[in-house]
């Protein structure tokens, strides 16, 4: 067991795939540890899930929205920082036309409506990430170890200037966490019976038991029909499929979740590396602001909306190449050297680390 691993009996885990990509502890590449077969009847029996999604109210004794200053066990400085600015998303416009002329609505009426329009998700956003290298958490029922765990804090303020407000410490509040875990790789699963219960299965089962079923979730089964006469041939075996499950996600292209906290469970099956992501509306807004800027495609936005980062990155790279070709052609026609924006100088900007 990892040093400092604690059993969290009242689990309110929050896991987030982070935009700022905090530098996690370096782990030397080692061969996957051997795994033993776990039959379904050997797996722990979990209580039935709640009928409706029960969002977690916080993590590790802290509630969402607590100021960073309330946390005493974290490092003084964050291991990862991200920032963004966005005009926000207009959610409502009310026009009260008072003109008596034939057009009824005057220019002043439209200007007043634009001034009073409601905008969500606007202004400056900052995300800071902290982790304790020797701290992990164990799911209380299945015993799966989560490590490392990353605490996330969000701040949002209205300004047109790139200046940190004086009351930043009050604005910087607990908004999410990212917990990682190791499970069996596809290569390991290919050597085990098809009904083997993996650590990924245990994590999914415990999340369902504690918080309810994720969106669009259905139990899957398999029916084998054996012939009455003659030997039974070996059944064809395909690769296991691992979906990205989301609890209370935002509507399609929505700005944020409508719940106090959302959950995402995703997995890299080749590496056997899983992430459980719990995120508050503030973290969703930060991801949307990053997506609106030069960081697109943003990794956190991609994860929250269950998109394919590989496909989105390939598309962004194609757009960059097309843009460079157009700039080069325009410069050649004008007899001048092309000017490439700083945001497109290197592909590393697509990792979501650039500051606004």
Would you say how long the chain is, in residues? 356
The 3-state DSSP class for residue 177 equals: strand
Q: Which residues contact 321 (CB under 8 A, 6 or more apart)?
A: none
What is the pLDDT, as a whole number, of residue 336? 47
Instruction: For the chain, give the percent of residues with pLDDT over 90.
Output: 45
Q: How does strand 245-247 pair with strand 262-268?
A: antiparallel
Beta strands in 26-166 (DSSP E): 58-59, 62-63, 80-86, 89-92, 118-120, 123-131, 136-138, 145-146, 149-157
Give the strand pairing for 80-86 and 173-182: unpaired
Q: State how beta strands 62-63 and 136-138 pair.
A: unpaired
Mean pLDDT of 236-254: 78
Per-residue tokens: 235: 């059944």
- Say what the alpha-carbon torsion angle 28, 271, 246, 2 is, to the nearest 10 degrees: -40
Domain ranges of the chain: 5-25+52-92+125-215+239-307
Phi first, then psi, for residue 115 (nearest 5°) are: -70, -35
Closest listed residue to residue 195, CA positions, set 227, 222, 217: 222
Q: Which residues contact 230 (CB under 8 A, 6 or more apart)?
A: none
Q: Each residue of 42-93: pLDDT tens digit?
A: 999 999 999 999 999 999 899 999 999 999 999 999 999 999 988 766 565 6
Q: Is the pLDDT score of 202 beyond 80?
A: yes
Q: What is the mean pLDDT of residues 225-254?
A: 67
Structure tokens at 210: 């504690």
pTM comes to: 0.71
CB neighbourhood size of 52 (10 A): 10
Closest CA to 16 of 145, 157, 130: 130
What are the C-alpha distances in Å from 23 to residues 19, 103, 148, 183, 296? 11, 60, 11, 21, 21
| Short-list 274, 265, 20, CA closest to 146 | 274
Cα separation, 206 vs 201, whole angstroms:
9
Quick check: 4 and 61 in contact, CB under 8 A?
no
Would you state the structure tokens that stand for residue 134, as one six-digit string? Answer: 């020797």
Q: What is the mean pLDDT of the chain?
A: 76
Tell me the pLDDT tens digit for each residue of 268-315: 999 999 999 999 999 999 999 898 887 778 889 888 988 876 766 666
Burial zone of 344 (CB within 10 Å; 0-12 exposed, 13-18 middle, 19+ buried): middle
Longest dimension (CA), the chain: 90
Q: Is 5 exposed, middle or buried (0-12, 13-18, 19+ CB in 10 A)?
A: middle
- Report whether pLDDT(103) > 70: no
Render pLDDT for 136-164 as a digit per residue (tens, 0 to 9).
Answer: 999 999 999 999 999 999 999 988 778 88
Tokens of 305: 């909306």
């Amino acid at each position: 067991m990892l040093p400092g691993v604690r059993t969290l009996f009242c689990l309110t885990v929050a896991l987030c795939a982070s935009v700022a990509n905090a530098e996690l502890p370096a782990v030397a590449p080692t061969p996957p540890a051997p795994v033993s077969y776990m039959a379904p009847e050997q797996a722990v029996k979990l209580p039935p899930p709640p009928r409706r999604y029960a969002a977690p109210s916080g993590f590790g004794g802290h509630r969402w929205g607590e100021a960073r200053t309330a946390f005493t066990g974290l490092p003084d400085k964050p291991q990862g920082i991200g920032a963004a600015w966005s005009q926000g998303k207009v959610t409502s416009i009310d026009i009260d036309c008072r003109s008596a002329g034939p057009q009824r609505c005057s220019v002043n009426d439209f200007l007043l409506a634009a001034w009073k329009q409601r905008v969500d998700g606007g202004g400056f956003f900052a995300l800071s990430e902290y982790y304790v290298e020797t701290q992990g958490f164990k799911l209380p029922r299945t015993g799966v170890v989560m490590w490392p765990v990353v605490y996330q804090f969000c701040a949002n303020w209205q300004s047109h200037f790139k200046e940190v407000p004086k009351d930043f410490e009050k604005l910087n509040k607990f908004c999410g966490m990212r917990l990682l875990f190791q499970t069996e790789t596809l290569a390991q699963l290919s050597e085990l019976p098809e009904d083997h219960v993996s650590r990924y299965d245990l994590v999914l089962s415990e999340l369902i038991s504690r918080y309810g079923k994720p969106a669009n979730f259905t139990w899957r089964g398999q029916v084998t029909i054996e012939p009455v006469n003659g030997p039974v041939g070996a059944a064809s075996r395909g690769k296991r499929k691992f979906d990205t499950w989301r609890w209370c996600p935002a509507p399609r292209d929505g700005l944020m979740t409508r719940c106090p906290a959302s959950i995402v469970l995703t997995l890299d099956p080749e590496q056997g590396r899983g992430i459980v992501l719990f995120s508050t509306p503030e973290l969703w807004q930060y991801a949307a602001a990053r997506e609106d800027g030069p960081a697109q495609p943003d990794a956190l936005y991609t994860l929250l909306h269950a998109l394919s980062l590989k496909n989105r990155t390939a598309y962004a790279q194609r757009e960059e190449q097309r843009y460079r070709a157009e700039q080069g052609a325009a410069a050649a026609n004008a007899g001048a050297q092309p000017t490439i924006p700083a945001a497109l100088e290197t592909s590393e900007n697509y990792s979501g680390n650039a500051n606004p």
